[in-house]
Structure 1
Amino acid sequence: MKSIQYISVIVFLIISTGIYAQSGKTAAADKAFRNHKYHKAIDTYKKIESKLKNEEDQNYVIFQLAECYRLINDTRRAESQYKRAIRVEYQKIDSLILLHYANVLKENEKYEEALEQYQAYQQYNPTDRRAEAGIRSCATALEWVASPTNHQIHLLKTINSRGSDFAPSYMGESYATLAFTSTRALATGKQKDDWTAQEFSDLFISRVDRKGKWSTPVLLDNKEEETHNYDVINTIANEGTPFFTKNFTKIYFTRCPNFKKEVSGCQIYTSTRVTNTWSKPKQLDFTGDTMNVYGHPALTNDELTIIFSAERKGGQGGRDLWMATRTSADGSFGNIINLGPEVNTPGDEVFPFLRNDTALYFSSDGHIGMGGLDIMKANKEGKSWTNVRNLKYPVNSSKDDFSMIFHPEKEKGFFASNRKGSRNDDIYSFYYPVIELFLNGTVKDKQNDTLIRDIKVKLTGMNGISSAVLTNKEGKYEFGKNKIAIEQEYLLTLSNNDYFTLKDTISTIGLASSKDFINDYELEPIPETPIVLPDILYDLGKWDLKPQYQDSLNGLIKTLEDNETLIIELGAHTDSRDTEESNDILSQRRARSVVDYLIIRGIDPERLVAKGYGERQARKLDKNIYRAGYDFLKEMVLDENFIGALPSNEVKEAAHALNRRTEFRVIGRDFVPKNKPRTTLNRDLYNSNNRIMPFEFHADSGYVQADSYLNGVKVLFTLKEESKPLIGLRQALRLYNKGLIERKDFIGNPEEVLAEGTIQNHAIFILKELSIANKVIKNVEIEVDNRLDFNFVIGTSTLFRFGVFTIDNESKELIFK
């Protein structure tokens, strides 16, 4: 990508004094190389290559030719020369050659060969994160091509030229005018840039008409006679990367001056529109003297913060993104701050763009990518930029993709790329098709299959936004396209005073096209008669609720949590084989033990009434039940006369067991929910439901950590918001050695993945079951990460598969709604 070469690095002029003179046969070529005159250096190195007798000098020239071709972005020739240099083991002199070779192989879409070189470089430099990023990118690039995003990309043929065209920017309130950087023949500077062998760059504009046709680009501002005095925007120097303020009355841009017999850097300038002309550009104070290298300005809407690219001390390496702030739009910027290691890498981060001041788009060759520069996105959290992610294919390619901008109100914009199909750095348009989502369905009575009207259907997103509708007389409900957004998890709640509340979850995460969700539901009416709970058995004459039967109450707990206004009576019944007085006491205590357990589980005690009925209410069956070889039919009443007439003692015992029961019935529907009190009673019992599960903060990172079960084995998981499921090598081997994951579970060739008694880094296997918060999901794809600092890591997208949740930092609880 030639654009970055003359916009964000020093442009050296030809200086006749010979300050870089060096003895030896390579001196002239080396001088051209140091002065970034790579085309001249290539010609000179090639002329002397065959004349060199010393093997060390010959190898040096091979390496220098590879570097020259890489720096002019001729990756095909660079690959050939790097291959020659590695054949003579030049990596023993400078191991960085392996990284450069891997990068050009990746740009040439030779991912398997690139992977070998990244791994070789990692052996020399195990702490350099660029090696690990390169290794991971070789696999992810192929995945992204196989599963492209829904972005639609189009080359702007009428705007682009044979030169480099890049760094577009909207210019004008109608957003019908585009300003951009170009090295086309019409540029005012007539000299050739020694690095790029192209014209010096200028700012051009083009306008699109109502039919979508772009006009022939013209220079942004100036008259021919003014191009040498630097009082205008376009001069004989390099100008590029325009940024316009929100009202389009001020421009910020990069200029790399072309002063005679001086070494020049690049600085950021600003100019104000006055009627139909632009004022004399002023250099921003913080960019310092002409030796400094600053460029690619992007400002917040209030013009109080600027983000730009520069190579400065205190950075992460290469060109980093930096920021500075000021107190007024006309004031001077203060201290310069690096955006930090989450954004910046040892590679280059360039071409920032701010969208609504909350999203930062930029290009990087240091993050995991497809090759060359890839376009990234980061989100603002507080004062920091975090959650950096690649925009993937087709926005990104194996070549350079950069300088993305967005229309302020629509999912469309422009960026530049030198991908296949481009003549040079060319401008492309993009748009993301509007995804329209609908949700509709019907609601029926589960008992009589009739459609129900006036059911409240509430839709609540994980972003906190909710909306509600009532079913009509035909039992139908509908949420239109403006109510449902992409990349969201929704909780759907159906409620009515005559029915038990029903809850469901709907996910739009990962949807790439429009969808009509059709969800029909059946609601259970609230009966007037008691509802028998699943079997809760007690020891003879005892009333303690045994742990193995506590799970029988989970359904009731969920019902009470979903129906927060209900008040219920818990009724316990005994059989008739004791005195009435003893059975009354025993049943009351048993009812009380159930109520106490529900209170421990967080149910408000004011919603619960314990009632012991002893033997006084024989059970009337509401369904057929088969026990002890006997059919107990619906409507049978299990009183003493009925039981006495049964054919055997075994059948009689079964009837007595059916009489021993715990029931609940709704006795009120007007409870006003209030904050649940925290209790310290039996903490383990309190959390046995696992819909409210405790967590701890990791001491060093502050990440949330809680229990999970991988194929039944308890493993502590760590929650990282954007992470895919990752597992450490030791933990993966533990599962494998116990037979909980098998060879057939791994994706790819098991002989390679499981070679030499270990598991290959970045191997992927399918976990049959992952359990969190008492819910199980199946067939989870997990990647082995040999450098992972934790046993098991998941992101929020995975955790949402277990239900919509909130994190209560005060009580350290994950609450699944």
Structure 2
Amino acid sequence: MKNFILSLIIINIFSFNGYAQESKVKTAGKDYDNYAYIDAIKIYEKVAEKGYKSEELFKKLGNAHYFNSHFESAAKWYGELFAMNTDEIGSEYYYRYAQSLKSSGQTEQANKILDEFNSKKQTDSRAKLYDENVSYLDQIKANSGRYVIENAGINSKYSDYGTFIYKNKIYFASARDTGNFTQRKHKWTGEYFTNLYTADVDSARVTKFKTSLNSKFNEASPVFTKDGKTVYFTRNNYLNGKKGKDDKKVTLVKIYKATLVNDKWTNISALPFASDNYSTAHPALSPDEKTLYFASDMPGSIGQSDLYKVSINGDASYGKPINLGKAINTEGKETFPFVTSENEIYFASDGHPGLGGLDVFVAQIESNGNISNIQNVGTDVNSPQDDFAYIIDPVSRKGYFSSNKEGGEGSDDIYKFLETKKLKCIQELNGIITDAETKIILPGTKVILYENQVIKNSTIAESTGFYSFPVECGKSYSVRTENPDYITKEVNVIIPKLNGKTNLPIALDKDACKLVVGGDLAKCFGIKRIYFDLDKSDIRPEAAVDLVKILVVLQENPSVKLDIRSHTDSRATFKYNEILSDKRTKSIIYWLVRNGINPERLTGRGYGETQLVNKCSDGVKCTEEEHQENRRSEFIITSI
């Protein structure tokens, strides 16, 4: 029955070849356009069983089952449509076929169809969402296992759905009233019209809500104000015994309002922004009761039904309805909103990546009204069928939702639940801060976390160079590092939409040489040795490049004095190495003096192999790399 309120689609009659079947198809087409889908299905299927094939026939059969949530049958007939290999299949059928396959447990085949859908309709937000969330099943799995769920105990063999709790009573819609003398069935679903019912929260005794709110057509989705004096609810376009119809003579649905006067519901009227030509349904109040959220296909909607909000003014008037935007609304159906005191909005959607049919999602309402961090609540609630009308008490974490999942008593059933663990996709952003050249860790580095150029958190890298921040899934951040000896660096990162950890190591480049007595300018500039030709002490061009760095420091810091030290490895004789290293030291000093440095600022000598930095002394077998460590030049600061 929910689909009567959810689906707002009219499809034209098709022409069909075959005189013998023409009258049947015309009859079925009439029923189809009047939303009498049950009657249409019977006729269409008899035609198909006789071997007749038509693109329009299979489309209508698929749609008739799809809009009644008979997904296995819908997948069958959409499959026949796709088997015809026609180029005329609209992109919408790719999505419906994929949804039907998922709802039938054929996820792998569904994803293949979604890939085709994405290639054909890249501008469709559902295609984009699928493309951006290829691992959506992993996310759903990660969000599962958080509920204890049981039958609410108030279900019948008919459709029961949509709940609201007020003063320890549960209010909901049910099609269980079959009538005393006449059977008022809706042709679309073959079920009876729904009225509002109530029961004590802890009782299975259900009574019909015997008020003027119930009519001979559909009522659903009541929501009461905290004082109990006002109720908003969904009803067919019907008031004072008269049906309202759109331009195509179809009676849609509207949100109505009633007030309690002397214990009677009176002043029943449609909200002023409702219309005969589009539907408004499933009202939900914000905790402060200043905003009404609802679903509608009004002009300007993105999809088949979108979520909207409208302000409730102090004089009981209303503002202009505002679409909640593309962050939440898709080309599919978004419906059954529910808003909590924690600024969360729960809703049902078949446009966001899910398990098939309608799934329940939750999103955050930001302080500026934007919607962010949309997540599927998991497989405990969601199934391959339709799951919707989710409400929750944010304190007790108890609530209700509706579903036509397998194992129920009727076409739709109400389930109650306890959420044992709040859905909060939590990520840890972490890493180690190191020197880009030497790879040594840099404890004490300040690390700052930014979101949209606003500081969200800061920390100091630990003794191991490690830092970490708690962050939100799916968001973008910037991480800035500040170290007095290094260039400030900022790195952008996008956090995945799954619980876990995101590693972001950051390597810093030295900002400038820190001049301290005893410090080595060679290390500051990464100079390991000054290159000379074999057995020679002449300055080579490669060496001059590094010596210019030393020269500039001495020119810009005229008080700095250096002691220049040259070293060799242990190969060759002790005396030879001592003489050679000394000559090379003198060549360096001579080069610096020749380029303008006062010789009084420079001292130095060669140390040969007397100050090895490793084990590679005479007679010890070492690699060339180990010998290289000993062949080095040092420029030790002796005065500043």
Both proteins in one fold, TM over 0.5: yes
**C-alpha displacement at 1:256, in angstroms?**
1.3
Q: Distance in 2 between matches of 1:215 and 1:375?
A: 26
Residue 76 of structure 1: aligned partner = 72
* 3-state secondary structure, aligned to 2:38: helix
1:204 aligned onto 2:179: no
Residues 510, 142 of structure 1: alpha-carbon distance in 2 compared, 3 angstrom cutoff: closer
**C-alpha displacement at 1:574, in angstroms?**
2.3
| Structure 1: gaps of 5 or more residues | 12-22, 209-213, 227-231, 440-455, 470-482, 494-506, 514-527, 551-569, 590-611, 619-623, 632-649, 666-817
Q: For 1:201, give the aligned amino acid.
A: T
Residue 298 of structure 1: aligned partner = 284
* 3-state secondary structure, aligned to 1:363: strand
Task: Give a deviation string over 1:653-692, Cα, whole Å, max 9, x none.
Answer: 979x44x225999xxxxxxxxxxxxxxxxxxxxxxxxxxx
Is the CA contact 2:302–2:330 (under 8 Å) kept in the aligned structure 1? yes
Task: Give a deviation string over 1:53-102, Cα, whole Å, max 9, x none.
Answer: 9x57x765454333222222212222223333444456647675444333
Q: For 1:236, give the aligned amino acid.
A: K
Residues 466, 249 of structure 1: alpha-carbon distance in 2 compared, 3 angstrom cutoff: farther
2:138 to 143, 146, 169: 143
Residue 365 of structure 1: aligned partner = 350
1:252 aligned onto 2:254: no
Q: Distance in 1 between matches of 2:186 and 2:587?
A: 105
Task: Give a deviation string over 1:694-740, Cα, whole Å, max 9, x none.
Answer: xxxxxxxxxxxxxxxxxxxxxxxxxxxxxxxxxxxxxxxxxxxxxxx
Residue 156 of structure 2: aligned partner = 161
Q: Distance in 2 between matches of 1:154 and 1:545?
A: 77
Q: For 2:304, give the aligned amino acid.
A: G
* Greater alpha carbon shift after TM alignment, 161-170 vs 137-146: 137-146
Residue 272 of structure 2: aligned partner = 285
- Counting only pairs closer than 5 Å after superposition, residues 528-607 of structure 1 correspond to structure 2 as 534=523, 536=525, 537=527, 573-575=562-564
Q: Distance in 2 between matches of 1:333 and 1:380?
A: 21
* 3-state secondary structure, aligned to 2:361: strand
Q: For 2:170, give the aligned amino acid.
A: L
* 3-state secondary structure, aligned to 2:149: strand
Residue 503 of structure 2: aligned partner = none
Q: For 1:195, give the aligned amino acid.
A: W
Q: Which has the higher contact order (CA 8 A, sep 6+)?
A: 2
Q: Distance in 2 between matches of 1:164 and 1:663?
A: 90
**C-alpha displacement at 1:219, in angstroms?**
4.2
Is the CA contact 2:518–2:637 (under 8 Å) kept in the aligned structure 1? no
Q: Distance in 2 between matches of 1:36 and 1:246?
A: 37
Q: Distance in 2 between matches of 1:408 and 1:71?
A: 33
| Structure 2: gaps of 5 or more residues | 11-21, 246-250, 429-443, 461-468, 482-493, 501-515, 532-538, 550-558, 565-584, 606-610, 619-626
Is the CA contact 2:362–2:377 (under 8 Å) kept in the aligned structure 1? no
1:132 to 104, 127, 148: 127
Q: Distance in 2 between matches of 1:297 and 1:545?
A: 79
1:354 aligned onto 2:346: no
Residue 238 of structure 1: aligned partner = 218
Q: Distance in 2 between matches of 1:408 and 1:587?
A: 77
* 3-state secondary structure, aligned to 1:285: coil
Q: Distance in 1 between matches of 2:326 and 2:363?
A: 12
Is the CA contact 2:233–2:255 (under 8 Å) kept in the aligned structure 1? yes
Is the CA contact 1:317–1:346 (under 8 Å) kept in the aligned structure 2? yes
Residue 613 of structure 2: aligned partner = 626
Task: Give a deviation string over 1:82-133, Cα, whole Å, max 9, x none.
Answer: 333444456647675444333211211212322444455567x445526735
- Counting only pairs closer than 5 Å after superposition, residues 732-751 of structure 1 correspond to structure 2 as none
Q: For 2:74, give the aligned amino acid.
A: A
Q: Distance in 2 between matches of 1:585 and 1:238?
A: 100
Residue 316 of structure 1: aligned partner = 302
Is the CA contact 1:584–1:613 (under 8 Å) kept in the aligned structure 2? no
Residue 421 of structure 2: aligned partner = 433
Q: Distance in 1 between matches of 2:298 and 2:48?
A: 36
Task: Give a deviation string over 1:331-371, Cα, whole Å, max 9, x none.
Answer: 32233333333322221111122234743332222233321
**C-alpha displacement at 1:616, in angstroms?**
8.5
Q: Distance in 2 between matches of 1:430 and 1:613?
A: 83
* 3-state secondary structure, aligned to 1:574: strand
How many residues are aligned here? 526
* 3-state secondary structure, aligned to 2:35: coil
Residues 117, 59 of structure 1: alpha-carbon distance in 2 compared, 3 angstrom cutoff: same
Q: Report % sequence identity.
A: 25
Q: Distance in 2 between matches of 1:457 and 1:275?
A: 70
1:195 aligned onto 2:168: no
Q: Distance in 1 between matches of 2:393 and 2:547?
A: 60
* 3-state secondary structure, aligned to 1:109: coil
Residue 570 of structure 2: aligned partner = none
Q: Distance in 1 between matches of 2:146 and 2:125?
A: 28
1:183 aligned onto 2:175: yes
Q: For 2:340, give the aligned amino acid.
A: R
Q: TM-score, normalised by structure 2?
A: 0.63
* 3-state secondary structure, aligned to 1:286: coil
What is the CA RMSD across the aligned residues, in angstroms? Answer: 5.8
Q: Distance in 1 between matches of 2:587 and 2:631?
A: 17
1:338 to 318, 323, 345: 323
Residue 152 of structure 1: aligned partner = 147
**C-alpha displacement at 1:169, in angstroms?**
2.7
Q: Distance in 2 between matches of 1:150 and 1:663?
A: 67
Q: Distance in 1 between matches of 2:3 and 2:109?
A: 27
* 3-state secondary structure, aligned to 2:135: helix
Residues 294, 201 of structure 1: alpha-carbon distance in 2 compared, 3 angstrom cutoff: same
Q: Distance in 2 between matches of 1:406 and 1:549?
A: 72
Q: Distance in 2 between matches of 1:548 and 1:129?
A: 62
Residues 246, 664 of structure 1: alpha-carbon distance in 2 compared, 3 angstrom cutoff: farther
**C-alpha displacement at 1:625, in angstroms?**
5.4
Is the CA contact 2:404–2:412 (under 8 Å) kept in the aligned structure 1? yes
**C-alpha displacement at 1:296, in angstroms?**
1.4
Q: TM-score, normalised by structure 1?
A: 0.51
Residues 128, 420 of structure 1: alpha-carbon distance in 2 compared, 3 angstrom cutoff: farther
Task: Give a deviation string over 1:437-457, Cα, whole Å, max 9, x none.
Answer: 9x9xxxxxxxxxxxxxxxx99
* 3-state secondary structure, aligned to 2:3: helix
Q: Distance in 1 between matches of 2:283 and 2:320?
A: 16
Residue 24 of structure 2: aligned partner = 25
Is the CA contact 1:7–1:266 (under 8 Å) kept in the aligned structure 2? no
Task: Give a deviation string over 1:624-649, Cα, whole Å, max 9, x none.
Answer: 95279569xxxxxxxxxxxxxxxxxx
* 3-state secondary structure, aligned to 2:185: coil
Is the CA contact 1:111–1:138 (under 8 Å) kept in the aligned structure 2? no
